[in-house]
Amino acid sequence: MRKYTPKDNVQKKSYYTDRFWVAPRVPTSEVEAGSHFESVVKTISNVVTIKDVGVQIGQLRIVINATDNFKTLQTLRDACGYAMCSELSAVDYLAQDGEFEVFYQMLNLTEAKRVRVVCRIKKDEAVESVVPLFKSANFAEREMFDMFGIKANNHPFMKRILMPDDWEGYPLLKTYPLHGDEFASWYEVDKIFGKEYRDVVGPENRDPASVERYDSQRFSRVGYEVPFGAEIEEGKEEENPIAYSETFMVDYTTGTTTLKKRK
Amino acid sequence: MQVTNKLTPFFENLNFERDDNTMVINFGPQHPSAHGQLRLVLELDGELVTKAYPDIGYLHRGIEKMAENMTYNEFLPTTDRLDYIASTSNNYAYALSVERLIGLEVPRRAQVIRTMLLELNRIISHLFFVATHALDVGAMSVFLYAFREREFAMDLMEDYCGARLTHSAVRIGGVPLDLPKNWLTDLSKFCTKVNYELEHTYEALLTENRIWKMRLEDVGVLTPEDALSWGCTGVMIRGSGIKYDIRKEEPYELYGELDFDVPISDKRDSYGRYALYMEEMRQSVRILKQLIPMYDKTEPKLMAHAPQYISAPKEEIMTQNYALMQHFVLVTQGMRPPVGEVYAPTESPKGELGFYIKSEGEPYAYRLKCRAPSFFHTGLLQEILVGTYIADVVTIIGSTNIVFGEVDR
């Protein structure tokens, strides 16, 4: 029977799963009273609604509505001293919830504290760009668009950044296979020669060790040498023994020049 | 409006204004001063840069995608290929975030070795910076001298892990090997040598060099506000007068116990940043000298004891049945960290390097985001280059110290 692979997540799966295994969770603690994070949560809750909050591995994690992302980051920057947006990207939860999780990793340099602002958006929704607040989001949001197809509204230059401009598909989606999709495998052929050359060039060979036995243009065969580009077919090859392909041994002790065949 | 066809492809969002005097040139992606595969589209008015557009992605290998299809231990050697000038920093940043995720305590000897390797890598990277930056600006001899010392440092790395560039010298949960014989003596000799060469060769050649100063002073001025807004870290932010070093502020490994200074510069220009790199090398040497006596006071234990996640030492695997079973499961299936997310920032030689890992309790990371400092420093180029002259472009790119393995990932 063919192995079942779910179509909405084609990433590699563990081949063995224990039915009774319950994965442990990273401990999430409440925000301590009187701590720096408590004042942050208080300030933000005055401006936007906080859906969930907790401290995970020393960093505050705030879940908000996606429409509030600009306001939250503005409050964090202006009222809480989080002057740097060190990272922003997304996580693909389309298979489970039909949603993306977008996170903003914020840094307060004076307190040396980090906050992660998390929000969720539906499949074809966009987030508001935070470039007016943090210029570092310029490249980061472009990368998010490039990798997930999540657009940032009012971004000054919403364009692919790592992949070519005419690329189809978004590589970090769970539906995108590691080896690339149909478009990816023909991209260079289509671009250089045109689509009509797909048959001529043939599919890409991904096996670096493969040797095509009847290809006389790229491979030579020891013992059955044929001229470059000669057309040979299976079963119709002529045996053509060539001297150098046999191994001789020189007998230096006798001092003669006669060569004896190795046994 | 551009008419695109196969001979004149689409030029990305560039205006060819025929009525004024501007010219559009491509800097790279095969330019020797572009530090890798940076394509920089510059619009020039005479020699003045009026618009700059960094085009990246020529070295994109999809490392984040690969992380989703590899077990945690499998992925570690791939991190070598991020910042290939200082591979151990990447290995360490990745190992640290996985360790924080599963809550591991690393043995003290491994901590000492890791901190040593990190600082050695910082010296390697900074020497590389001085060498290539000077070469870009036109000082050929510094390149040769700096590469000589870098070679000694790489010999030390080679003695330790066998590799010169792609070290993979750190494992999740510790280090794979103890230090070889006489390594610490070699290290202390190297420290003395670097300290000497810093003062008598590089600084003697560069610091008061008239041409060097003319080319670097007041070039690439970055205000603290811009540095924060553009997400600059490391020397870039300290060169703008903001004192933030993750080793000091959010200490990891042994940095909390070590005595070192964080140099800052209020000059904000390339010269200030150059001076910082030199001073940071001195501080690294200082840290290494403190670490050498610490090594002897540690127990000879290299990997954390966490049978659920980390294989037992080789002797136990070969002698004890249960350790062998654990090892078999961990090798064939991979470790399964708890469900949750982590972001662990570290101070790599280039700036803040951190891995965001989202785990769903599988042996494969659900999402891994590599926060690479060079990526954000490349983004900065589109603003910092505008208004400078074409001759300074090379200086500024060199001064940001970007590495394209990290930018494109």
In CATH, what number is assigned to the domain containing residue B152?
Answer: 1.10.645.10
Peptide bond into B29 cis (omega under 30): yes
The average pLDDT across A107-131 equals: 91
Interface check for B346 against chain A (CB to CB < 8 A): the answer is: no
The average pLDDT across A117-131 equals: 92
Interface check for B360 against chain A (CB to CB < 8 A): the answer is: yes
Instruction: Select the more confidently predicted residue: B20 or A102.
Output: A102
Contact by Cβ (8 Å): A248, A261: yes
Q: Across all residues in chain A, what is the average pLDDT? A: 84
Grouping H, G, I as helix, E, B as strand and the rest as coil, residue A60 is strand
CA distance A29 to chain B (A): 13
For Cα atoms B325, B328, B331, give the angle at the middle one, nearest 5 degrees. Answer: 150
Residue of B38, B72, B341 best to disrupt the A interface, most CBs of A under 10 A: B341
**Residue-level pLDDT at A243:** 53
The two most distant CA atoms of chain A are separated, in Å, by 101
B95 part of a folded domain: yes
Q: Which two tokens stand for residue A257?
A: 């020049």
The pLDDT > 70 percentage for chain A reads 87
pLDDT at A170 exceeding the cut of 70: yes
pLDDT at B241 exceeding the cut of 50: yes
Residue among A14, A26, A165 minimizing CB distance to B339: A26
CA distance A257 to chain B (A): 46
**Residue-level pLDDT at A8:** 86
Give backbone dihedrals phi and psi of A17, rounded to 5 degrees, phi first. Answer: -130, 135
Nearest CA in chain B to A156: B13
**Residue-level pLDDT at A222:** 63
CB contact under 8 A, A161 and B339: no
Query: What residues have CB less than 8 Å from A85, skipping those under 6 apart?
Result: A73, A104, A105, A106, A107, A130, A133, A134, A136, A137, A140, B231
The average pLDDT across B44-51 equals: 87
To which residue do tokens 């590589």 refer?
A: A171
Tens digits of residue pLDDT in B366-388:
999 999 999 999 999 999 999 89
Instruction: Select the more confidently predicted residue: B80 or A247.
Output: B80
Instruction: Select the more confidently predicted residue: A230 or B100.
Output: B100
Query: What total number of domains does chain B contain?
Result: 1
B207 part of a folded domain: yes
Q: Which two tokens stand for residue B1?
A: 């409006």
To which residue do tokens 């924060």 refer?
A: B228
CA distance A115 to chain B (A): 10
Chain A environment of B10 (Cβ under 8 Å): 165
Chain A environment of B360 (Cβ under 8 Å): 23
**Residue-level pLDDT at A250:** 58
Residue of A135, A148, A197 best to disrupt the B interface, most CBs of B under 10 A: A135
**Sign of torsion, CA B354 B357 B363 B366?**
negative
Query: How would DSSP label each residue in B16-38?
Result: --SSSSEEEEEE-SS-GGGSSS-
Nearest CA in chain B to A191: B6
Residue among B69, B249, B379 minimizing CB distance to A138: B379
The Cα–Cα gap between B375 and B82 comes to: 11
CATH 3.40.1370.10 fits A28-159, yes or no: no
- Helix count (H) and strand count (E) of chain A? 6, 10
Contact by Cβ (8 Å): A54, A31: yes
Q: Where are the domains of chain A?
A: 28-159
Interface check for B100 against chain A (CB to CB < 8 A): the answer is: yes
Residue among B62, B69, B379 minimizing CB distance to A136: B379
Q: pLDDT band at residue A5, thresholds of 50, 70 and 90?
A: confident
**Residue-level pLDDT at B409:** 86
Interface check for B333 against chain A (CB to CB < 8 A): the answer is: yes
CA distance A226 to chain B (A): 39
pLDDT at B18 exceeding the cut of 60: no
Give backbone dihedrals phi and psi of B101, rounded to 5 degrees, phi first. Answer: -65, -45
Residue among A23, A165, A171 minimizing CB distance to B339: A23
Tens digits of residue pLDDT in A196-243:
888 888 888 778 787 777 777 877 766 667 778 777 777 776 666 555
Check residue B42 and report its DSSP letter: E
The pLDDT > 70 percentage for chain B reads 95
B253 part of a folded domain: yes
Tens digits of residue pLDDT in B276-321:
999 999 999 999 999 999 998 988 888 898 888 999 888 889 999 9
The Cα–Cα gap between B96 and B254 comes to: 13
Q: B-contacting residues of A 88-127, CB under 8 Å?
A: 89, 91-92, 103, 105, 109, 112, 114, 116
Query: What residues have CB less than 8 Å from A114, skipping those under 6 apart?
Result: A58, A59, A60, A86, A105, A106, A107, A108, B343, B345
Residue among B340, B344, B376 minimizing CB distance to A139: B376
Residue B331 CB: number of other CB atoms within 10 A?
12
The Cα–Cα gap between A157 and A141 comes to: 10
Chain B environment of A103 (Cβ under 8 Å): 356
CB contact under 8 A, A116 and B367: no
Q: From residue A149, how far is each of A144, A153, A169, A180, B35 by CA, in Å? A: 7, 12, 8, 16, 29
**Residue-level pLDDT at B64:** 92
Closest to B359 (Cα-Cα) out of B31, B86, B170, B99 = B99
**Residue-level pLDDT at A259:** 52
Domain range for B344: 63-305+338-371
Tens digits of residue pLDDT in B112-157:
999 999 999 999 999 999 999 998 888 888 999 999 999 999 999 9
**Residue-level pLDDT at A245:** 47
Q: How many CA atoms lie within 13 A of B107 on its CB side?
A: 22
**Residue-level pLDDT at A9:** 87
Nearest CA in chain A to B329: A16
Give backbone dihedrals phi and psi of B358, rounded to 5 degrees, phi first. Answer: -110, 115
The two most distant CA atoms of chain B are separated, in Å, by 81
CB contact under 8 A, B233 and A86: yes
Nearest CA in chain B to A86: B231
CA distance B98 to chain A (A): 12
Grouping H, G, I as helix, E, B as strand and the rest as coil, residue B271 is helix
Instruction: Select the more confidently predicted residue: B25 or B70.
Output: B70
Residue among A14, A138, A171 minimizing CB distance to B363: A14
The Cα–Cα gap between B379 and B372 comes to: 12
pLDDT at B22 exceeding the cut of 80: no
B404 part of a folded domain: no
Q: Which two tokens stand for residue B252?
A: 């990891």
